[in-house]
Structure 1
Amino acid sequence: MTTPWDPLHQLASAVRARHVSSRELVGEALARIERVESSLHAWVVLDGDRALAEADAVDARIASGEDVGPLAGIPLGVKDMEPATGYVTTYGSLIHRDDAPATADSVLVARLRAAGCVVLGKLNTPEYGFSADTTSPVMGSTHNPWQLGRSPGGSSGACAAMLVSNAVPLVTAGDSGGSIRIPAALCGLPGYKPSNGRTPVGGPTPPGNGWLGVRSIMARTVADHVYALGALVGHEATDLHSIPTSSWPSSVVAQLPTRVVWAPAPGWPVDDEIARVCAAALQRLVAAGVEVIAVDSFVQGIPLLDYYTVATVYQQRLHGHRRGTPEWEMLDRGIRAQVDHADQRVSAADFVRSLDAAHRHNLDLQAHFEAAPILLCPTVAGQTAACGAQGTVNGEETIFWAPFTQLFNLTRHPAGSVPCGFTDDGMPVGLQVVGSQQDDLSVLAAMAAFEQLFADDRRPIVTA
């Protein structure tokens, strides 16, 4: 085994050919986790015995001649927002810390297990995934491998920390407002939010964030994202917004777009250093022959306000019934504030008007896509926060340090983040990459090209 992990398709091929066993891969992952976990604090629970037993079962099936799937034997970390059989799903909340273990997998986890993955355990999440920092009352703060004490982002920050530290090759993740793209940017990884509906959010309960949310995976490279997504895409009968996908490639060819639309600060101030790093990346695109069309904003109005209206109503639906009970005081004050906002300031008509605004924002975006196939902007506006804090814009802490991702949950566009440089203190900076409705593969092809163009051999201080 080498560091970093070999590509997913190579690992799985080696397991299927019995050149390496799933037990060996899982054992290697457990050893790597042990080397970094005391510094990063990413795992709510890690069950090595259960994982090794599952790996042995995969190996036995292969020995009997069975095809166990395209992700044969791959060790998998599961974000603690997804039920996985045998594990408590805490959602990062004290309310659920002592719940009974799940008796069934989520649709997402079930598809990954069916493809051959072996679950290692559950990864930290902020309470109900509501925050862009991975700090929870169940687990405390997960740290960024590039600098301990700094946030890995959220809500999939523990997932990103495990990937960039080379502890695991694949994790589940979710994105209802940037929860894949923000940690990817802060941890120096590619991260991808598929078109809403491309991957399943079905199952026995309605999705917590309604049509805003995507459940998916995170991986170390764009190629690994494409390969692993092949196990997830496809119609799901229990998902009302599921997109039928008749085929999905195992790889994409890196392809620089001929033109891009670039918004250096779409509607919100950007930290000067973040702006310089992103501007330098755009100059590299120009030097590579890409035409850059600069705009001040992607849409009219303030889409973050429309997103916030919708998101707080979903929070009220999830937690409003807890008001006046002991559980209410157990909730993070940020969640309570969102419920209060929905109760006191949002009417049913306001909610529908915000959904109508998504239609208008989509029209504005479509006008840009008629000029170029890809939109670009900074993934976040601010510098990486300290654990448990907000990011900063030009030295000032602000709640508006990551205001650029939510629009594309509201409009359901495919969107990713690719690393494009570093700040002077060695923290990664991400560039957000957005494609037109359901054009996932063009976004991934562009991300693969940007990944090559912006490649940097720097590594975090905490690695396995």
Structure 2
Amino acid sequence: MTAQTDLARPVAPAPANDDLARLSAAELGALYRAGKASPVEVLDQTLERIARLDPVVNAFALLDPEAARRDAAASEERWRRGAPLSPIDGAPATLKDLIAAKGWPTLRGSHVVDPEQAWDEDSPVTARLREAGAVLLGKTTTSEFGWTALADSPLTGLTRNPWDLSRTAGGSSGGAAASAALNLAPLNVATDGGGSTRLPAANSGAFGLKPTFGRVAGYPSAHTHTLFHVTPLTRTVADAALLLHAIARPDPRDWRALPKAPDDWLDGLDAGVAGLKIGFSPDLGYAEVDPEVAEIVARAAQAFEELGAHVEPVDLGLDDPLPVYRTLADAAVARLFANLPEGRAALADPDFRAVAERGRAIDAVTYLGAAEAREALGRRFGLLHERFHLLLTPTTAVPALPADFATTSGSRGVTPSPFAYPFNLTQQPAASVPAGLTRAGLPVGLQIVGPKYAEARVLTAATAFEAARPFARVPDPA
């Protein structure tokens, strides 16, 4: 487990042989297929890269080199025989520390979880990665139970933004975002219960996709239930499609999981957006947006016109659904705390305990009223997508906050992005793709939202934008 980063800590010079560790999963698969690289060789360079850079950004909560070496050796033998299990066989991958993996503790960024227990079951997504032959490296950091939009936790400390180490990588999937941006692993499984994939993707200059709820089976059930999505977080859109192709399967342990989609997420990625009708909302009717973020996102929306789509400004006139989201999320935290073994709740962050107290005060009538308001919001966006194939918005209202924001502000209770939680409520697919850099050099994300079950359309649009507006890779921090 990595400790909180000291910005003054010296960093070893980059080795000359980490070129393979900088490649995408798609590029690695092509090299394996051609016999020009091996999974063992890639893993060796990947582990060297992690050893050099993870002390700087603190992306990993757990790293298991020996297990990864076993996975890589088995993959190398399969490629030697010409019998890979999938296109991502041999690609390094990580799991956010909210996702169960046999033999690894799932501590959820919290002292609340007792590490001295049996860790003997894989989550569905972990099982799918093993079946696909991915090389599992370990667990990435998360804020405590994923409850806050900052990349910190009482257990693992701060996870820093690769673009600016004084800034947060974004939460709660900060470790996965830092890993994706720096290519510590090309494939990173994250989660999103209110923006926890899209927000850190935007902050860190990575690509994050929240699929339709249930597209990726989740088990054990998250405390946030139907707000919670299991997600790909990668450096490139193609790698997210590869990862989704591997993990988007039903599992009998998740009774809400969707049937296997007929789509091959890899097909049609380069089909483009010509002829699509796309709505653009710079504020969803209620958000206050940093002027520089607004300017960058407006230019990004214009790129879709240049690609042949018809982009139309849309005034949604929405009321902020944050109170609806808070009611459902706070009640979920209260239920989480009610299920904790005696004495464990006192080990949680005080701000997190305060959320549970708020949740306990919510009565059934208020809760069901929020559920009805959620349904109304879903209908509203469903009708919107009768007019528009896609919707564009900023991903976040502001660039990445200071890494120590919780300490300096006196609270970890940071409001999530006003553009993120609405689509956890509606369960639609939504992705954040890098749109540009502020004058201070901080990434800004463009959010691409599709109707339910239209992940393929979102991925195709993101691919077109990525090709039209290539995003610079972050230099290795030193």
Normalised to the residue count of structure 1, the TM-score between the two structures is 0.91
Q: Secondary structure at the match of 1:148?
A: strand
Cα RMSD for the two superposed structures:
2.4
Q: 1:454 to 1:67 in 2, by over 3 A?
A: closer
Note closer, same or farther for the CA distance 1:336–1:6 as it changes in structure 2 (3 Å cut): same
Percent identity over the alignment is: 33
Q: How far off is 1:448 after superposition?
A: 1.0
Instruction: Report the Cα offset of residue 333 of structure 1.
Output: 2.4
Cα distance in 2 between the residues matched to 1:104 and 1:31: 29
SS in 2 for 1:432: strand
Change (3 A) 1:79 1:361: same
Alignment counterpart, residue 68 of structure 2, candidates 25, 30, 51: 51
CA distance in 1, matches of 2:406, 2:468: 30
- Matches of 1:101 and 1:41 in 2, distance apart? 26
Match of 1:138 in 2: 155
2:433 is aligned to 418
CA contact (8 A) 1:382 1:391 kept: no
After TM superposition, list the pairs within 5 Å mapping 1:33-432 onto structure 2.
33-63=50-80, 66-96=83-113, 98-100=115-117, 102-202=119-219, 205-249=220-264, 250-251=266-267, 252-256=269-273, 258-266=276-284, 267-297=286-316, 300-322=318-340, 325-344=342-361, 346-389=362-405, 399-400=414-415, 402-432=417-447
Which has the larger displacement, 51-60 or 103-112?
Answer: 51-60
Distance 2:133 2:30 in 1: 11
Segment drifting more, 309-318 vs 52-61 = 52-61
* Deviation, structure 1 residue 295: 2.7
C-alpha distance in structure 2 between counterparts of 1:97 and 1:165, whole Å = 31
Which amino acid is the alignment partner of residue 93 of structure 1?
S
Matches within 5 A, 1:425-444: 425-444=440-459
Q: For residues 320 and 160 of structure 1, do their structure 2 counterparts lie closer, same or farther at Cα, with a shift above 3 Å needed?
A: same
Post-superposition CA distance 1:75-127 (Å, at most 9, x none) = 11121111112211110001226334622211111101110011111111111
CA deviation profile, 1:161-211 (whole Å, cap 9, x unmatched): 011112211111111111110011001112100000111113xx3332111
Contact 1:144–1:151 at 8 Å: present in 2 too? yes
Deviation larger for 251-260 or 193-202: 251-260
Question: Aligned to 2:457, what secondary structure does the other structure show?
Answer: helix
Contact 1:142 1:151 (8 Å CA) reproduced = yes
> Is the 8 Å Cα contact of residues 414 and 436 (structure 1) preserved in structure 2?
yes
Contact 1:177 1:212 in 2 (8 A): yes
Deviation at 1:233, TM superposition (A): 1.5
Show CA shifts across 1:41-99 (max 9, x none).
11122121221123223334555665433321111112111111221111000122633
Distance in structure 2 (CA, Å) of the matches to 1:11 and 1:228: 13
Name the aligned partner's letter for residue 444 of structure 2: V
Q: Distance in 2 between matches of 1:302 and 1:316?
A: 23
Distance 1:287 1:391, change over 3 A: farther
1:361-411 CA deviation, whole Å, 9 max, x = no partner? 12211232122111111101122101142699xxxx994461210111111
Q: Distance in 2 between matches of 1:398 and 1:140?
A: 16
SS at match of 1:82: coil
Unaligned 5+ residue runs, structure 1?
none
Counterpart residue identity of residue 272, structure 1: P
Residue identity matched to 2:363? S
- Seen in structure 2, the aligned counterparts of structure 1 residues 254 and 189 have a Cα distance that, compared at 3 Å, is farther
2-structure distance, mates of 1:178, 1:406 = 6
Give yes or no for contact 2:272–2:464 (8 Å, CA) kept in 1: yes
Going from structure 1 to structure 2, the CA distance change for 1:427 and 1:97 (only over 3 Å counts) comes to farther
CA deviation string 1:306-330 (max 9, x = no partner): 111111111111113459x532221
My pick for the range that moved more, 448-457 or 407-416, is: 448-457
Output the CA distance in 1 between the equivalents of 2:407 and 2:464: 29
Alignment length, in residue pairs?
Answer: 454
Contact 1:391/1:399, CA 8 A, preserved across alignment: no
Q: Which runs of 5+ in 2 are unaligned?
A: 1-17
User: What code does the residue aligned with 1:218 have?
Assistant: L
Q: Distance in 2 between matches of 1:97 and 1:424?
A: 44
Question: How many Å separate the matches in 1 of 2:124 and 2:324?
Answer: 29
How high is the TM-score relative to the length of structure 2? 0.89
Deviation at 1:302, TM superposition (A): 2.6
* Separation of aligned partners in 2, 1:280 and 1:373: 20
Q: Secondary structure at the match of 2:95?
A: strand
CA–CA distance in structure 1, aligned partners of residues 209 and 407 of structure 2: 22
For the 8 Å contact 1:309–1:354, the answer to whether it is kept is yes
Question: 1:384–1:391: 8 Å Cα contact kept in structure 2?
Answer: no
Distance 2:230 2:80 in 1: 32
Change (3 A) 1:76 1:421: same
Q: Which residue identity does 1:40 align to in structure 2? A: V
